[in-house]
Amino acid sequence: MAVMKMIALTMVGPHEEMEPVARQMVLSGGFQPIPLDFLVNDRRLRSRVTTESENPYDDLLSKMATIWKGAGERIPEPEPIQLGQGFNYKDTKVIVEQVTEKLETWSQRRDVLADDLERLEATKNFVEALKNLDMKPNELSEAQFALPSFGRLSIDNFNRLVESTIDAPLLAVELSRTQENVWALVFFVPGYKDGAKKILDAVYFREFSIEEISNQLSQADPLKQLEGEIRRHEREINELESSSKSVLDERRKEFETLFSRLYTMQRVYDICKGRGEVSGMYVLSGWIPEDTFGLVKETLDAEAPMTSVLVEAVQNMDYAGIRIPTMLRNNKLVRSFQYVVEMYSIPSYGEVDPSPFVALTFILFFGFMFGDVGHGFLLWLAALYMGKKGILNKSLAYVMKCASCSSMVFGVLYGSVFGIEKQEWALWISPMHDITTLFGVAIFVGVLLISTGMILNMIVCYRRRDFGRLLFDGQGLAGLFVYWGAAIAIVISILGFKTPFPVAYLWYVVGFVFLLTFFRDTLARTLLHQNVENHEPRSVQVIEVLHNLMNYFANTASFIRLGAFALNHFALSLTVLVLSNLFGKLPGGIVLKVIMFIVGNLFIVGLEGLIVFIQVLRLEYYEFFSKFYRGGGSLFKPVGWGREKSHMKS
């Protein structure tokens, strides 16, 4: 459960072997290409490297899309298909052109007819609207003082257009509407032509030329003429769709298989876009997780025997601009809490992944502050509903369901159900009757979590071989001794424990270790012979050490909020119960009492649940993360199967 180790993999081989390799990378979904400009440092060699910029399979996929487009159907979802060595672009292009030649012609004809049909329907709507207004088209086209514009837009955009005319010299008149669109006339003064165009473009106004419409209306009964042409266009479009659908139904399985093959190769070339060619040999580089290298090597040995593989250790990569991507791999419980970490920042490569710690502490902190069986159950129902409806994403919904279960567990420990708290019900403590224990546990939890953060910081320093900070920094071992020593001394003084030595001696040791942190860099150079480069003034280092000391106490005191919000929850619940009883004394009291009780508890779950969620995030981000976590990483984004098909219009 950590940040996965990555490998920089470079493959050099002939063209006929690179495509099978890239296919395997696409289907496995575990390869993120690296631009060759980052890897080739030699300028003379870089000038000889040519790279791919276009995907040749985009055009073939667009051609295949016309098969379903012409039949009036949606483009199918492609399926991953393993391709043999014989599948290549040249032969596939011939097959696609043979399959789509006739259907593409029908589709193009259908598009032309659809455009003409839209224009005819616009003309019909325009003529009908003016007939009701007792006006003629040429009267509008010849207007001088108020320029007209006719067109169609959605109902929502028409409402936006009407609102925008309040402060602009522009008038929008609705002529007619369908279930989705409005046909409208827009008038504006000649001097406001550019401003009117910007407003109309902003609301996606589909304009039709009034002058062209007027010139087309030559018969005495233009409506009859238009209705006849509309029927003819609709009939021809239906015939084309019917013919295309018949062809599609006869060969549907064949077309879908070919489409999936093309789509697979399109994804392959998304990888190959980052490749380079030098003297007839192709170069492809990228990141892969270390634990997948064995499978990749087997594939290369079997399908690309002439391809050479170069593996570079990431710690030796000193190329400017390269950022090692971060891949997190956690179990199902922890995986959803990665979302909480990502809201703060992505772990940088080599950093400790805090997700497992967040999964545990987030659940415990939320339950500690919001412990109630009834309220936890309502929160669980709300998280379940919002997750199914898509109001919350899956990760956040899972986090909230875990937090609500923790609330119910702590509700049992506190003996609290819908704010009704009784000491005899409690399996552990009753917050209102054991306030000292409640705050004592809160402080202890704070000390434990802050100490964990400092230990994780020492692990990070060890990985970076920064032993000076590990031993002598205020966030390292010296700082941990100062923190624990001060905490033990304070507890002994407050509780009056007897010790075999005066407590002052413990404070002397704490003070001595604390002084060591002022000379962190000096000690690292003299004792550890570590090359420390620190250009900060001495005064800045002193302020940093004092800031660490103040943070020890401030961060620990911040955990008092665990107990404070547990008491606050009881106080709010008690207020709801008191108000419910007061309402119960009014006429119709039993009904009012029930309503007040329900509304009050829903208010507690909604408002206090949100506040507690924010407070838990604060404890995680400021008190815990600040001790060891830097973030600033970039997620591993392999070239996988999924891709937007926006260029294939259905």
pLDDT tens per residue, range 424-472: 888 999 998 889 999 999 999 999 999 999 999 999 999 888 999 899 9
Residues 31/354, Cβ–Cβ less than 8 Å? no
Give the predicted TM-score (pTM) of the model. 0.70
Residues 406/364, Cβ–Cβ less than 8 Å? yes
Helices (H) and strands (E) in the chain, counts: 26, 14
Q: How much is the pLDDT for 121?
A: 77
Neighbours of 317 (CB within 10 A): 13
Q: How large is the average pLDDT for residues 412-418?
A: 93
> Does 137 score more than 70 pLDDT?
no
| CA-atom Rg of the chain in angstroms | 35
Q: Which two tokens stand for residue 185?
A: 């006339």
Q: Which domains does the chain have, with CATH numbers?
A: 117-222 (3.30.70.2750), 329-414+422-466+530-625 (no CATH)
Residues 17/258, Cβ–Cβ less than 8 Å? no
* CA–CA distance, 100 with 65 (Å, rounded to integer): 9
Helix, coil or strand: residue 74: coil
What is the chain's length?
650
Q: How much is the pLDDT for 23?
A: 73
Find the range with the poorest average confidence among 63-72, 215-224, 339-348. 215-224
Closest CA to 300 of 38, 33, 10: 10
Q: Which two tokens stand for residue 458?
A: 């020492």
> Does 649 score more than 50 pLDDT?
no
Confidence of residue 414 (pLDDT cuts 50, 70, 90): very high
Confidence of residue 52 (pLDDT cuts 50, 70, 90): low
